[in-house]
Amino acid sequence: MINWVPFTVSLSLAIWTTVILVVVCFPLAWVFARSKCRWIPFVESFLSLPLVLPPTVLGFYLLISLSPFSPVGAFLKSTFGLTLVFSFPGIVAASCVSALPFMLGALRTGISSVPENLLEASWTLGKSKLETILRIVLPNMKTALLTGIITTFAHTLGEFGVVLMIGGSIPGATKTVSIAIFERVEAQDLSSAHAYAIALVVISYAGTYALNRLQRAGNRRNG
């Protein structure tokens, strides 16, 4: 009998990570897309590191920096009573770092694709900057936003190395589907491993199919 709890952990992780990254990355992507500051390429390259670093390297440094003995971990523990390592909030934080380049890249591309004069036209029509973002920018970067959401969600769903390093494998808390597959294979329970893996394949395929359709629709709209 398959234990579905790792699926709920993986789905919760993917949803939390995606929502947090949309909120965090939008202003960052805005600055990266619109600002001419010469330091931006350096910051952008640093934030893209998770794309090229091995997950174990990223996970190792996150484990060091978030442990209760580090300045950040000690601050979180003393101020909020929060211990991030080997906890669900910890794997959410780690996944946010790991998936950040996916969301940031998609949003940056989307924001750059909205011509500056649409914003200016909206301002001359009396609309505030916030209203312009909500009613002009977001609808015109819908494809990029959905691309960011789908790639972040799918990447987080399949997250393994970083999550294992930070969260270990605590059932119901940090044990995701990827980790469950690894454990089932180690335990020679190949039928359960197959079931988990096939479910992930189906979900991932649905994600990439949706992404493909969105991009084709976007290309058609743009001629």
Please identify which residue in 65, 128, 212, 219 interacts with another protein, judged by CB under 8 A.
Answer: 128
Measured from the CB atom, the residue of 162 and 214 that comes closer to another protein is 214
Rounded Cα distance between 157 and 200, Å, is 8
Q: How far apart are CA 153 and CA 204, in angstroms?
A: 9
Q: Which of 23, 37, 74, 121 binds another protein (CB under 8 A)?
A: 121
Count CA within 13 A, CB hemisphere, residue 70: 13
Q: How many residues bind another protein (CB under 8 A)?
A: 17
138-157: contacts with another protein (CB under 8 A): 139-140
Q: Which is nearer to another protein, 3 or 35 (CB)?
A: 35
Task: Tell the smallest beta-carbon distance from residue 212 to another protein (Å).
Answer: 22
Whose Cβ is closer to another protein: residue 125's or residue 190's? Answer: 125
* CB of 28 or CB of 114, closer to another protein: 114
Task: Rule CB under 8 A: choose which of 27, 51, 120, 134 binds another protein.
Answer: 120
The verdict on 115 binding another protein (CB under 8 A) reads yes
What is the rounded CA–CA span in Å between residue 5 and residue 90? Answer: 18
Q: Angle at CA 38, nearest 5°, toward 101 and 100?
A: 10
Contact indicator for 44, 187 with CB cutoff of 8 Å? no
Residue owning tokens 């946010």: 96
DSSP assignment string, 28-47: HHHHHHH---TTHHHHHHHH
124 binds another protein (CB under 8 A): yes
Q: Which residues bind another protein (CB under 8 A)?
A: 115, 117-118, 120-128, 135-136, 139-140, 223
